[in-house]
Chain A
């Protein structure tokens, strides 16, 4: 928590992107989270990614539930739309918003408590439906906001700050997302922006349900020895399986790693993502292979990170429902209220 606003003064070298904003323009209010909270680094990574991708802030909607993590949308993209929903209910509000206006970029920001406990059902169904969104879980293994109780993602055998041992089996959100059909599944670490920023960029450009599980240490309640979500533990066990080298075709020409190591993933906007495999026996475009690989690493006590699975030709809920191409707020009155004859036709079709 900080009492002075972040000064407006910035580095003289700061430059504007294609849509005319500097990186600082993507910031929000000053954070009220604990000093050192991993969540703040995720906010900084979102800021960086949106600036780099020339995202127009007014074309973004940030939605969240309840928790320290769910407070963070106030601390980035201050000029974007925002909706702080009820605990665990962010996915359904996001789904509704997305149906009403398909032109916005939907950023769902949640915590492990918000998504794996009270909101587990919502988490699963939004993914199943293929809502086009960037779903970021800021995963610290505890309910930070309510003073550090174990959350459903805490590993069995890990200990709380005062020594209590967690006996319950953990929910693996990456495994859940893969099972539920997410078309972009990644895991990052708040302490490694070099990896996290490209993961967020890839998710923003993805054409379907993208989920990023970001391990994000809670310095106040879950950063001790015995925790498996502490800075030290994650650094020791972090196993990156892939690396997004760059996303821009124009930039791609400059470097050329060995072809068999690189997977090219065409993006919906016509650009190309290059994914460099760090494990030879692993295919991140094959869902089953990805699930097996991730499970095997986790069973060995590692924390697999990177882009774990991606389906290039992903489709989304709008395609499935064949919805109108225009957002509802741009349809005219006759399209929105087509009159009694159309209603009559619809009713008779249902009889």
Chain B
């Protein structure tokens, strides 16, 4: 194999599983260390720079980082229940414990540069664009048809998961940069907006249309049947404050989970989720399903809705066909009726949460923006630019419904595009991330990070008492970590960003690192091709997602191979190395954000 090129910014980035998996590439281990040091304001700012909404995301993020976290792999066969670091809930810790000093740490916007940018919709995508550009001196105006900013964060996510105060504070930081928020202003015509002479327009209008289920009885019983996301919005605005006793929620995604838990709090004592697919294949995150079940809500799977049953327009129940999953030789699933008689469930109200769609009724077909056959804008996936060069899309409006952190990541990219575009630079040229590696050695046996891995199993976030939590839709269920648990959970992080950097010129092949490594990562052996090498390392190396670090050739013509997969980043290899051929170096990735660092001409004039 070729010796690893560690100057490739992606090489060490991939080793930091969580950061690599995070769409916004939040430097996770960096903020987790700051939490352990009690530096909550700094930890908050690390998040704020990357993901804009630490308090919101610390409660609601889809957390792609957690399934990726190395800790889960390392605990396999070590602890009874292998689990990742509670990365998301530690993010909340930074928001919960930040001090009053934080406001002063939020940077001030640069002097106005005279450019005007309009954002349609005040969801996380637009708000990220607004933050990034306002800081660079742009005059940003954000329009939303609703009275308050936040988009689905405000209207869909129920208050028992995310209190208003958290949203208010974090949106306040952005509006406070001088962003002009036009509440209650729905944009009805793209053409007229474009005529208003904005230098750039960002569309972050989301995927606002909930799918319906047209079945027998739908019309007749319409009064007791609601589209999930419309209903959640009504609950959020206080238009709906109660629900009948027996509620069925149709669908297996996160919207279904929010619907059923909300119904439970609005007075229903018999709430069921009924879903076509199998439990395992449901779209909802495992923890959302767990939370719903924890609140006594059964999830009934393999039931395909057939009809709404009513008594002269009063909904009385629903019938379902019972199916099972059958897989063909390509592994494709089909749902086949079992032949059992249809199942009937009595109910008084039904919430339909079977998916969302994009809709752009306000964008005229002749506005100049091309749409594909699925009704989504034709975009360059990296620049987010449309067929009108000064119009950009992001968030759910760009590629269909995703999640908050993806909307934030789009916002950053769109802001970079807009900044380059308005400086007359090619938007398809994307500025590379900047990488910094700094040795963590402080003394012979001292590192500037806490290198001893903790053996603790994942700490549980405490919950409000069930009676209190279910009594009101506004009572936040999760209480967040207390300081002690936060510290202990933070200590579970393996510091995967503190990289093992190998210098073959210094290695004397004494084997000390091989002998000390607790997870048998290191092998000195004859060179070969990757597949062959993976088969003859000191420990099996099945995870192809993680690279082999190759150093050499060495004096004996052998090579050093380190499997990055389950390295604990404990630094023992570096401590045992007599020559300093191993060093522990902290990897810091600075992704390009709108502003001089993302431009070719750093001082560039506006186009």
Contacts and interface: CB of A to CB of B under 8 A. Distances in A.
B285 interface: no
Contact of B452 (A4, A24, A40, A223): A4
B474 interface: no
A193 B510 CA distance: 11
Contact of A13 (B509, B511, B540, B579): B540
Interface string B407-425: 0000000000000000000
Contacts of B556: 235
Interface stretch (B139-147, B331-339, B381-389, B570-578): B570-578
Contacts of A13: 77, 539-540
Contact of B568 (A2, A9, A34): A9
Interface string A160-176: 00000000000000000
Interface string A24-46: 10000001001111101101100
B518 A7 contact: yes
A45 to B, nearest CB: 9
Contacts of B555: 232, 235
A11 B512 contact: no
Interface stretch (B68-76, B215-223, B245-253, B265-273): B68-76
B508 A41 contact: no
Nearest to B518: A7
Given A7-B568, A12-B76, A219 B510 contact: yes
A43 B512 CA distance: 11
A4 B78 contact: no
A34 B566 CA distance: 26
A224 B579 CA distance: 13
A280 interface: no
A2 B516 contact: yes
B515 A2 contact: no
- Where chain B touches its partner, the secondary structure class is loop
B445 interface: yes
A44 B510 CA distance: 12
A180 B143 CA distance: 96
A345 interface: no
Contact of B511 (A7, A190, A220): A190
B604 interface: no
Contacts of B77: 10, 12-14
A257 B501 CA distance: 42
Which of B446, B512, B577 is the most central at the interface, judged by chain A CB atoms within 10 Å of its CB? B512
B520 interface: yes
Contacts of A41: 510-512, 515
Interface residues of B, number: 37
A161 B359 CA distance: 79
B451 interface: yes
B455 interface: yes
Contacts of B508: 36, 219, 223, 231-232
A6 B510 contact: no
Nearest to B541: A13
B453 interface: yes
B512 A9 contact: no
A35 B578 CA distance: 5
B428 interface: no
Contact of A37 (B453, B455, B512): B512
A10 B511 contact: no
B511 A191 contact: yes
B78 A9 contact: yes
A41 B445 CA distance: 20
Contact of A36 (B74, B75, B512): B512
B37 interface: no
Nearest to B446: A3
A5 to B, nearest CB: 7
B443 to A, nearest CB: 10
A40 B515 contact: yes
B539 A35 contact: no
Interface string A198-232: 00000000000000000001011001000000011
B526 to A, nearest CB: 11
B545 to A, nearest CB: 15
A6 B518 contact: yes
B76 A193 contact: no
- Which among A6, A13, A35, A235 has the greatest number of chain B C-beta atoms within 10 A? A35
A218 B566 CA distance: 31
A84 to B, nearest CB: 21
The listed residue with most A CB atoms (<10 A of its CB), out of B446, B511, B579, is: B511
Interface string A113-126: 00000000000000
Contact of A11 (B515, B539, B570): B539
A219 B568 CA distance: 26
B185 interface: no
B189 interface: no
B519 interface: yes
A220 B512 CA distance: 14
B509 A2 contact: no
Contacts of A35: 512, 575-578
A21 to B, nearest CB: 14
Given A4-B572, A10-B78, A36 B519 contact: no
Nearest to A3: B445
Contacts of A147: none
Given A36-B512, A38-B510, A11 B519 contact: yes
Contacts of B516: 2, 6, 31, 40
A251 interface: no
Contacts of B566: 11-12
Nearest to B452: A4
B85 to A, nearest CB: 14
Interface in B556-573: 556, 566, 568, 570, 572
B78 A36 contact: no
B574 to A, nearest CB: 9
Contacts of B540: 13
Contacts of A31: 516
A2 B574 CA distance: 10
A8 B511 contact: no
B578 A12 contact: no
A76 B566 CA distance: 24
B265 to A, nearest CB: 41
A191 B446 CA distance: 27
Contacts of B577: 35-36
A46 to B, nearest CB: 11
The 7 closest A-B pairs by CB, nearest first: A36-B578, A44-B515, A12-B76, A4-B452, A12-B77, A11-B539, A219-B578
16 contacts: A1-B445, A2-B572, A3-B445, A11-B520, A13-B540, A14-B539, A24-B518, A31-B516, A36-B508, A36-B578, A37-B512, A40-B512, A40-B516, A40-B576, A41-B511, A219-B508
Interface of B: 73-78, 444-446, 451-453, 455, 508-512, 514-516, 518-520, 539-540, 555-556, 566, 568, 570, 572, 575-579
